[in-house]
Chains A and B, each alone.
Chain A
Amino acid sequence: MGLTFLQGIISIIVIMALAPLFAGMVNKQKAILTGRIGAPVLQPYYELIRLFKKETINAGTSSFISRISPLINLVSMIVAAAMLPVGFWKPIISFNGDIILFAYILGLARFFQILAAMDIGSSFEGMGAAREATFALFAEPIFFFTIGSISFISGYNSLFDIYHSIQLNNVSYEVFIIVCSISVFMLAVTECSRMPVDDPNTHLELTMIHEVMILDNSGIDLFLYQYSSYIKLFIYALLEISFFYPFSQKSNSVGILIFITGSVALTFVLGIVETITSRYRMKNIPQYLLFATAIGILNLLIYTFTK
């Protein structure tokens, strides 16, 4: 018990420590692919340190919602991170039905972010909040149809158990992994506001979704938002990588190896996708999300016909 708990603690620390590095690596890949030198991979850390030192200024019209929302965001992300397995280690928070908690703790973070954006009363932020809420509506089914269908198939409803039920020696499972990893990737892209749904590098307020909601935040508040968005990206990356652990042979060294190669490979994939795609028109995004949901439904169909 003591060892498992320690491993869980180490897992969270690893996630929290490496999250900005992951974002930095994606940006570096993107820069290299477009023929630029790009910012150093450690740039996100520098940014966080810079923001940490800055003074926090709140809009005069904002209420306590704006003050608590950044913290709620970060705490929610850490709680969500505590439910994810790193390697073969059991996460701290793991109980029957934790996938529901996982989905809605992320939902809670989003809820407060939207509230905080509307709280400031700027027309930009209202617009961003409306977009975020609309697209979240379409993104939620993706998670439940993907992770939920594996849960349904395996009969488990805890993230740790679900992933452990994956066995690579079963052909239908291999199909699942491929199909699920596609829809989880699309989910990650949407949830983390990356291309082709949102462009994290744009300076154009009118086209932003996520970035426009935090336009009026500064200092520690912005630090908390940025840090939690890095963690969020890494959480979804782990959700993706976890499909690829060979759970039939549990060895710590294999787990760490897959964790590292999986993360690096995913930065490559994200970098390539973000270089060669252009953003979708705002009104086409729901179609894209429904497509990902359809992939999740496909899972259930595959199961039904291969059983």
Chain B
Amino acid sequence: MKLIEVQNNQMFKIDDIRFTGKEEFRDTIAELMLNGSRLISLTPVDPDNPKKIFAALTDKNFSVIYLSGCDFNGSALEYESFANDFPQTNYFECELAENYGIMPLNHPWLRPVRKQNVIMGNIPYHFFQLKGEEVHEVAVGPIHAGVIEPGHFRFQCHGELVYNLEINLGYQHRGVEKLFLQLNSDQRIILSESIAGDTALGHAFAHCHAIESLSNIQLSLRAKVIRTVAAEIERVAMHLSGLGGIANDVGFALPSASYGRLRTLAINSLALICGSRFGRGLFVYGGVRYDIDNEIKNSVMENLNTILNDVRQVNDYMFSSVGALSRFEETGIVSKDLAQSIGLVGLAARSSGLEEDVRINFPYSAYRYNPVSMITLSTGDVFARARLRALEIDETLRFIIEQLENLPEGEIKAGSGKTVPGSAVISMIEGWRGEIVHSVFTDSEGKLMNYKIKDPSFNNWYGLSLALRETGISDFPLCNKSFDLSYAGHDL
């Protein structure tokens, strides 16, 4: 075999990766993808010397991650693109080309990922354009009318109907991946919490897992449960916020206000645990900084039970309103086949009927012992994405309350350790939006050499583009909110 298999969060030696020639690399990866694996990471091992690239693919049926490498061995930095046969690799290849100048040959549509109007450093790029009579172009952003993140959207429309939407991001690029290599361990957690403001806990979770695996730190069960409880409260809060946003985008004032009120309860619960409404400062290497005592537990339980009761009524109200349903149903459809081929993850994938949930497919932390249920819907429209949030809130609240009732005893923080030299780890987490992947490599001295982050938004922005095809342009804000993707998480 040209590849090795690892588990989620399992440390491996960089030397164990088989770096093969281009031909063999191509055959290996193509075969994996033919068998239903999905690409989660494509990066050089050493960013300063991008002669060897590394690919990680997941197989959810066997809960394994396949690793394979390619050594350019002095030849030109180019390889045959996979994107013609496997559209899911499209954006990964664009990113590799933009960051390191590694050219995918015969790529169908090489476009900028975080830069504007330029590919491969100096080749000008023009937006796809529709020509003909009665065709018009609408450009939205990067500065928007509301207080939202910056992103540029190019619509090619025929009347009210969208033919193509091209999304150009990168306005929030802060160089997060590079900063990880420069900062010390205390600063790194703070940085990981700021990758995407709405997934502070998700990214901190993935980062801590990666470093703990590389340093061989074992966590107590109590610490694991507190971490998962906090991460799940974040999920509840963001799902409530998402539902509120969806209601607001169809001008449905009553549910919008009610979801907003309930979200406050959820984030206030996080504040009770760690002092920050977004959960910042809770995670440390080896565990958590704050314990949950009985008093906090009871207040949090009280909050969650209120949410559990109230959210059912609000859901019943919203999902039985004919007006709202007529907006949600059959708007922005992504079919299951399409979702699979472009590699959607998380909430959007589950709404299209794909069983993509890292908590279940690649269980980590407390989910190893206390599983959650996989919830999928099949229609792939705005309704499915909204309804799935409602269903997940129920399931997640059940999980949190169960965990809090049976909180195991133990230390909340384990001792620290040093990162092992010459090794690497793939750390996957199911954030509220979907699969977060942190791929971390250390050099021969044990320092971080490469830190690669994949936010679920990286996969799903293209899904939004496709959802908009043949959909009214006035439904764009609704579709956009139903995906609720992060600009900062994509731009890094």
Contact = CB atoms under 8 A, between A and B. Distances in A.
Tell whether A and B belong to one assembly: yes
Interface of A: 30, 33-36, 123-124, 126-127, 195-196, 199, 201-207, 215, 274-284
B256 A199 contact: no
Given A127-B138, A283-B472, A204 B323 contact: no
Contacts of A282: 160, 472, 474-475
Given A206-B473, A279-B327, A281-B327, A34 B257 contact: yes
B140 interface: yes
22 contacts: A34-B253, A35-B258, A35-B261, A123-B138, A126-B136, A195-B251, A202-B251, A204-B249, A205-B140, A206-B138, A206-B140, A206-B473, A277-B251, A277-B252, A278-B324, A279-B251, A280-B326, A281-B472, A281-B474, A282-B160, A282-B475, A284-B326
A34 B146 contact: no
A204 B145 contact: yes
Contacts, number: 86
A89 to B, nearest CB: 37
Contact of B321 (A215, A278, A281): A278
A205 B145 contact: yes
Contacts of A30: 253
B137 to A, nearest CB: 7
Interface of B: 136-140, 144-146, 160, 247, 249-254, 256-258, 261, 321, 323-324, 326-327, 331, 472-478
Given A278-B323, A282-B160, A123 B253 contact: no
Given A275-B254, A282-B472, A203 B137 contact: no
A35 B257 contact: yes
A281 B249 CA distance: 11
Contacts of B247: 278
A207 B144 CA distance: 13
B477 A207 contact: yes
B253 A274 contact: yes
B323 A275 contact: no
A278 B252 contact: yes
Contact of A278 (B146, B251, B331, B477): B251
A34 B253 CA distance: 7
Nearest to B136: A123
A278 B250 contact: yes
A282 B140 CA distance: 19
Given A123-B136, A127-B473, A205-B145, A33 B254 contact: yes
Contacts of B137: 123
List of 10 A-B pairs having minimum Cβ-Cβ separation, nearest first: A203-B146, A34-B257, A278-B252, A199-B251, A204-B477, A279-B251, A278-B323, A278-B250, A282-B474, A203-B145
Contacts of A196: 251, 323
Contacts of A202: 249, 251, 477
B160 A283 contact: yes
Nearest to A134: B160
A161 B261 CA distance: 51
A292 B475 CA distance: 24
Contacts of B253: 30, 33-34, 274-275
